[in-house]
Amino acid sequence: MYKTARETIDFCAALRDRLDGLQGVDVVVCPPYTSLDEAVGVLAATEIAVFAQNAHWEREGPFTGEVSPPMLREIGATGSLVAHSERRQLFAETDESAARRIAGLLDAELHVIACVGETEAEREEGATEAVLRRQVDAIRGVVGGDDLDRLAIAYEPVWAIGTGRTATPDQAEEAHALVKGMLNVRVLYGGSVKPENAEALLAQPDVDGALVGGASLELESFAAICETAARLA
């Protein structure tokens, strides 16, 4: 919940200029609903995509406060995040509701970045694999073969979100390999990614990109991560 519409215009214009001509990496920004239209307008002539942060599974209906995939599509958004750890922790997102959101977005021919990951307690209990298998199984149940090119999964260990802690490259690689063994899609790492650790994480064979949180709020840090990803592509 950062950046007003005016702030989004300024950020996207600066990002557009900074990344002009950058090759080898797909760049996506995910502003709040109130800034989506502005982001689409500024980035329309670029390769930078605009995603929402969440979407409902129905096309319309009595769901006050929700936004549907067709609504996103009409204003030019090309996809959405689903089941970010904050949605799971703070807003009662479940594996089942996440799967329904993913299905709704894919049915509307939009792209999805679906988030999975374990809490600190689950990692300490040795339950990381079981948690990831359960979460990815729920996603796999609603994804058809034709959908795979529009789906990415972001592995975000919850204990690394906003804490400054980051999974080691080996920990990230192990989790990514597990996810890819279950579903043949791109897998991104999310969890305190910043310019200082991006290269070590992105160099892992099964890490296909990054879901950048706090470091995406500042132009220089986000652009530096994009440039690192392009260099390693």
The packing angle between helices 5-18 and 33-43, to 10°, is: 30
Q: What is the C-alpha to C-alpha distance for residues 81 and 30, in angstroms, rounded to an integer?
A: 8
pLDDT, tens digit, 9 for 90 and up, residues 86-140:
999 999 999 999 999 999 999 999 999 999 999 989 999 999 999 999 999 999 9
For the chain, the first-to-last Cα distance in angstroms comes to 30
Q: What share of the chain has pLDDT > 90, as a percent?
A: 92
Q: What is the pLDDT of residue 188?
A: 98
Q: What is the pLDDT of residue 2?
A: 98
Question: Per-residue pLDDT for 37 more than 80?
Answer: yes
pTM equals 0.96
Six-digit token string for 120: 């600190």
Query: Residue 24, Cβ neighbours under 10 Å: how many?
Result: 11
Three-state secondary-structure class, residue 45? coil
Of the residues 122, 156, 173, 176, which is catalytic? 156
Query: Residue 109, Cβ neighbours under 10 Å: how many?
Result: 12
Q: What is the pLDDT of residue 197?
A: 95
Q: Is there a catalytic annotation at residue 176? A: no
Q: Which residues pair with 29 in a beta bridge?
A: 50
Q: What is the pLDDT of residue 32?
A: 98
Six-digit token string for 147: 């959908």
Q: What is the C-alpha to C-alpha distance for residues 3 and 87, in angstroms, rounded to an integer?
A: 19
Q: What is the pLDDT of residue 167?
A: 87
Q: Quickly count helices (H) and strands (E) in the chain.
A: 10, 7
Q: What is the pLDDT of residue 186?
A: 97
pLDDT, tens digit, 9 for 90 and up, residues 61-88:
999 999 999 999 999 999 999 999 999 9
Q: What is the pLDDT of residue 164?
A: 72
Q: What is the pLDDT of residue 17?
A: 97
In this structure, is the dihedral angle defined by the CA atoms of residues 81, 230, 179 and 161, taken in order, positive or negative?
negative
Question: Per-residue pLDDT for 228 more than 80?
Answer: yes
Pick the closest to residue 181 from 205, 198, 202, 209 (CA basis): 205
Q: What is the pLDDT of residue 116?
A: 98
Q: What is the pLDDT of residue 97?
A: 98
Q: What is the pLDDT of residue 173?
A: 97
Six-digit token string for 64: 């006050």
Nearest-5° angle of CA 96, CA 100, CA 105? 150
Superfamily (CATH) of domain 5-16+27-232:
Aldolase class I (3.20.20.70)
DSSP letter at 41?
A: H
Of the residues 84, 111, 122, 173, which is catalytic? 84
Q: Is there a catalytic annotation at residue 156? A: yes
Q: What is the mean pLDDT of residues 215-227?
A: 98
Q: What is the pLDDT of residue 159?
A: 84
pLDDT, tens digit, 9 for 90 and up, residues 151-183:
999 999 988 877 777 889 999 999 999 999 999
Three-state secondary-structure class, residue 152? strand
Q: Where are the domains of the chain?
A: 5-16+27-232
Looking at every residue in the chain, the average pLDDT score rounds to 96
Six-digit token string for 156: 């975000």
- Reported in sequence order, the residue ranges of 23-108 that DSSP labels E, i.e. its strands, are 28-29, 49-52, 79-82
Q: What is the pLDDT of residue 163?
A: 73
Q: What is the C-alpha to C-alpha distance for residues 133 and 164, in angstroms, rounded to an integer?
A: 26
Q: What is the pLDDT of residue 166?
A: 81
Q: What is the C-alpha to C-alpha distance for residues 207 and 212, in angstroms, rounded to an integer?
A: 13
Q: What is the pLDDT of residue 161?
A: 75
Separation of CA 70 from chain center: 19
Question: Per-residue pLDDT for 141 more than 90?
Answer: yes
